[in-house]
Amino acid sequence: MIKQLSKEQKNHLLSPKYGMKALNGYELTCASEISIRSCLELLWRVQEAKERIMRRMLLTDECYRWMEDELFERKLRLYEKDLENIKMEKKAA
């Protein structure tokens, strides 16, 4: 019987932080487990690449054609804070 996952379970499963732990809670065949693990790892790599690309676009003031100005400005402020934190961490090290 196939059980539907709740939204929270899906979020945990798709999260790089909790995904593998969440996957351990299910009874899967070895082939299914290998397939799911490799798909999750690929998904996480794509998400990381997307974040890096978005960060580069924001830092060069290149706006997405479909992005609203408010959202662009909010994301830019978040990335600027991230950069400040990184600079502080490097100084402290």
Domain locations in the chain?
1-50, 63-93
CA distance 53 to 75: 13
Amino acid identity at 39:
C
Sign of CA dihedral 6, 13, 56, 64: negative
Q: Which residues 6+ apart lie within 8 Å of 74 measured at CB?
A: none
Residue 9 has pLDDT above 50, yes or no: yes
Confidence at 63, pLDDT banded by 50, 70, 90: low
Q: State the average pLDDT over residues 63-87.
A: 75
Q: Which residues 6+ apart lie within 8 Å of 13 measured at CB?
A: 5, 19, 22, 23, 40
Q: For the whole prediction, is pTM greater than 0.75?
A: no
Q: State the average pLDDT over residues 13-28.
A: 83
Q: State the average pLDDT over residues 35-48.
A: 88
